[in-house]
Structure 1
Amino acid sequence: MAAPEVRSGFTALYGAAPDGIWSAPGRVNLIGEHTDYNDGFVMPFALPHTAVAAVSRRDDGVLRLHSADTDGGVVELRVDELSPLSDREWTAYPAGVVWALREAGHLVTGADVHLASAVPAGAGLSSSAALEVVVALALNDLFGLGLEPGQLARLCQRAENVYVGAPTGIMDQTASACCEEGHALFLDTRDLARRQIPFDLAAEGMRLLVVDTRVKHAHNEGEYGKRRAGCEKGAALLGVDALRDVPHDGLDDALARLDDEEVRRLVRHVVTEDRRVERVVALLESGDTRAIGPVLTEGHASLRDDFRVSCRELDLVVESALAAGALGARMTGGGFGGSAIVLVEAADAGTVTKAVEEAFAAAGFTAPRVFEAVPSPGARRLS
């Protein structure tokens, strides 16, 4: 939904124009999956699909929330009564941001909020992070908090981890808050150092397709948390602070010290995935963009076989795309459904898309949604 529609929707709901309009994007992760909560490397970029918020400041302790994307009216809450794990609806994401800001000592005294999002929910494209970041940015501006994008991202992560109860890493919120148009974001999740890597596929005759399998996932339903706990167990057994500290050239020795086969698989994925991120950065910076294709495909095999977070639909995207001539493909996001990315020559985009759609039809799966991913700006004020 465009900003003018969100503005008019706000005015119809609350009887006055909003103080401003803000947007925050969803993201696609090019490479670096399940590395962020292991202090490792990730490489997301922002999508053109955004959450848009019209917001006005309140000073009476009342938080009013409304979404154009859900049924139901305005939800009214008291900011001094917000508490973690008390809300299982969409409102937990914006309310959690208000809670996290207040817990951090920022005097947020209420707001009227009207939201609309074009980020596909449940597709592994960070629809929840977009909601969090757009509200955080609006409140940062309206209350003059002076927080920079990386600080907002950390507060949004805390909202999702503690208030919502989803054990996500820092990547999604940082991507939504900090990405730049025409670039992928190389993020070190240990010290949060960021580097913008030029990523203009159109100029080189390529495209990156996102294939939303329409298989829904939910991080807080247990499987994500089990893998995170397994990674922490592996780090403890190896005597390191996080799996980031296991060197790639010492991986075989590390695996030989682990008796638990499940933990061994998780460790192997994280250590090799960190190395894949470094390889993709080097290839992009050297101008050898097409060579990242096989690295993406390697990443999918690792997520499928070692981390075991793929599903038949995601595997079918990768298999059918590669068979139709794609340069590389892999699942993206937390897994158990969601989306895959496919790197193609621009001239092959139609052929590959058709091949994936036909494979889904032959398998009896729901038709996937396919669209081009164009590296887009991060969160910003629109008016």
Structure 2
Amino acid sequence: MSSTDDLRARFEGAFGAAPDGVWQAPGRVNLIGEHTDYNEGFVLPFAIDRAARVAVRLRPDSSVRLLSTFGSQGLTTADTGSLDRGTSKGWTRYPLGVLWALQQRGLSVPGLDLLLDSDVPRGAGLSSSHAIECALILALNELTNAGLSPEDMVLATQRAENDFVGAPTGIMDQSASLRGSAGHALFLDCRDRNVRLIPFDAESAGLVMLVIDTRVSHSHAGGGYAARRGSCELGAEVLGVKALRDVDLTDLEEACGLLDPETFRRVRHVVTENDRVLQTVDLLGSSGPRAIGPLLDASHASMRDDFGISCPELDLAVETARSAGAIGARMTGGGFGGSAIALTPVAAEPRVRAAVERAFARAGYTAPDIFSVRTAAGARRVE
């Protein structure tokens, strides 16, 4: 990522004046709790030391000019008086979605110039889109004195994703980005939106969190994610509950007789995944990170077999990392590609990296990008 001084200089070169400030928001790794958020369940993500950074200057008119340090899209222009969900494309959908969502809250949204820089891998399941949204909404909240609370910003960015971008996501990603804390995971109850910081210091336990980006790109706006959400809604309707959060492990036997086989498997994943999140929180408090490996493994098996959101590359990454010495591994994010995580003893890290690279080469897959992440602070102004 560019330094703050470099980003400011590039902004001034592109737009002819200095920005009003620079804000950043991190990506996230979801430690455990996949596809539970929109079912009003529990999740346990953490903010990572990869972030999106935006230099922003408000304008006296309604013009919006957007530029990034990467890609070939070039300068994108829009107008706050006619934000169009249908014509925006690429990364610009996310800042434009934030502007639109704030308008829907009844706020007056000024024009702006924005330069984006980011080192959150795109399409890797690490929430690169929400990092952009959270950085911008934090900037606008400050620059316009909007008085939005963290919860307000979470809900506004969710609306941007759902109704502007067209991705039916929950509130996990932006909650982690806005409310994360170094040395902690964020235990989020997606029904009442209460959060609790849970100590998660892998380094002190002699562990490293490896991210294995399979380079298989995914998109939450695609049909697979929406289909899984539809199955969950159908399951809740048939079972007569507000959301799958209200289904207990002891209810699964009865549910098996009421639901078609596919819907039952989708429901079983959500119900058991909620239980795994709660177990993980308890174990982190009582025994530390080394105790959670089996829960990570079980989560991946559930996503692969019951929820059907893994892919051959993710399965190979997880299986190989475990065989090479990781204490637990799972895919992370919405699925259908993206990344796996492997909680690995420091001494085993080189062995795990090499084993995964060899396995992908033997299978004829694109070489994965393997890197470590640490917990990080949430969104903040940096200049």
What TM-score do you get using the length of structure 1 for normalisation? 0.98
Tell me the equivalent position of 1:297: 297
* Equivalent residue letter for 1:232: E
Tell me the equivalent position of 2:114: 113
* Equivalent residue letter for 1:128: S
Tell me the equivalent position of 1:281: 281
Deviation larger for 20-29 or 363-372 = 363-372
Retained in 1: the 8 A contact 2:201–2:289? no
**Partner SS, residue 158 of structure 1:** helix
**Partner SS, residue 360 of structure 2:** helix
The unaligned stretches of length 5 or more in structure 2 are none
* Equivalent residue letter for 1:341: I
Tell me the equivalent position of 1:164: 165
1:300-330 CA distance string (max 9 Å, x none): 0000000000000000011111111210100
Tell me the equivalent position of 1:364: 364
Tell me the equivalent position of 1:220: 221
**1:247 offset after TM fit, Å?**
1.2
Retained in 1: the 8 A contact 2:65–2:114? yes
**1:60 offset after TM fit, Å?**
1.1
**Partner SS, residue 120 of structure 1:** coil
**1:31 offset after TM fit, Å?**
0.1
Tell me the equivalent position of 1:63: 64
Matched, 1:267 2:267: yes
**1:237 offset after TM fit, Å?**
0.2
Once residues 265 and 72 of structure 1 are traced to their aligned partners in structure 2, the CA distance between those partners, rounded to angstroms, is 41
Once residues 130 and 320 of structure 2 are traced to their aligned partners in structure 1, the CA distance between those partners, rounded to angstroms, is 30
Tell me the equivalent position of 1:144: 145
* Equivalent residue letter for 2:262: E
**Partner SS, residue 134 of structure 2:** helix
* Equivalent residue letter for 2:264: R
The unaligned stretches of length 5 or more in structure 1 are none
Retained in 2: the 8 A contact 1:150–1:178? no
**1:71 offset after TM fit, Å?**
1.3
Tell me the equivalent position of 2:353: 353
**1:86 offset after TM fit, Å?**
3.2
**1:352 offset after TM fit, Å?**
1.1
**1:254 offset after TM fit, Å?**
2.3
**1:201 offset after TM fit, Å?**
0.8
Once residues 117 and 104 of structure 2 are traced to their aligned partners in structure 1, the CA distance between those partners, rounded to angstroms, is 26
Tell me the equivalent position of 1:309: 309
Once residues 71 and 98 of structure 2 are traced to their aligned partners in structure 1, the CA distance between those partners, rounded to angstroms, is 19
Once residues 141 and 342 of structure 1 are traced to their aligned partners in structure 2, the CA distance between those partners, rounded to angstroms, is 37
Tell me the equivalent position of 2:13: 12
Retained in 2: the 8 A contact 1:47–1:374? yes
* Equivalent residue letter for 1:315: D
**Partner SS, residue 353 of structure 1:** helix
**1:228 offset after TM fit, Å?**
0.3
Deviation larger for 64-73 or 153-162 = 64-73
**1:84 offset after TM fit, Å?**
2.7
Once residues 173 and 266 of structure 2 are traced to their aligned partners in structure 1, the CA distance between those partners, rounded to angstroms, is 21
**1:70 offset after TM fit, Å?**
2.1
Aligned pair count? Answer: 382
Matched, 1:186 2:187: yes
**1:102 offset after TM fit, Å?**
1.2
1:250-275 CA distance string (max 9 Å, x none): 222222322x1110000000000000
* Equivalent residue letter for 2:55: A
Query: Structure 1 residue runs of 4+, over 6 Å off?
Result: none
Q: How does 1:80-99 map to 2 (within 5 A)?
A: 80-99=81-100
Retained in 1: the 8 A contact 2:231–2:266? yes
**1:287 offset after TM fit, Å?**
2.7
Tell me the equivalent position of 1:333: 333
Once residues 27 and 185 of structure 2 are traced to their aligned partners in structure 1, the CA distance between those partners, rounded to angstroms, is 13
* Equivalent residue letter for 2:300: H
Retained in 2: the 8 A contact 1:214–1:366? yes
Once residues 209 and 353 of structure 2 are traced to their aligned partners in structure 1, the CA distance between those partners, rounded to angstroms, is 11
Retained in 1: the 8 A contact 2:205–2:290? no
Once residues 25 and 264 of structure 2 are traced to their aligned partners in structure 1, the CA distance between those partners, rounded to angstroms, is 37
Retained in 1: the 8 A contact 2:200–2:288? no
Once residues 281 and 60 of structure 2 are traced to their aligned partners in structure 1, the CA distance between those partners, rounded to angstroms, is 46
Q: How does 1:122-133 map to 2 (within 5 A)?
A: 122-133=123-134
**1:150 offset after TM fit, Å?**
2.2
**Partner SS, residue 233 of structure 1:** helix
Retained in 2: the 8 A contact 1:246–1:271? yes
Once residues 8 and 156 of structure 2 are traced to their aligned partners in structure 1, the CA distance between those partners, rounded to angstroms, is 26
What is the identity percentage for the equivalent residue pairs of Structure 1 and Structure 2?
Answer: 54
Retained in 2: the 8 A contact 1:85–1:162? no
**1:188 offset after TM fit, Å?**
0.6
* Equivalent residue letter for 1:274: N
**1:154 offset after TM fit, Å?**
1.1
1:280-302 CA distance string (max 9 Å, x none): 00000113421200100000000
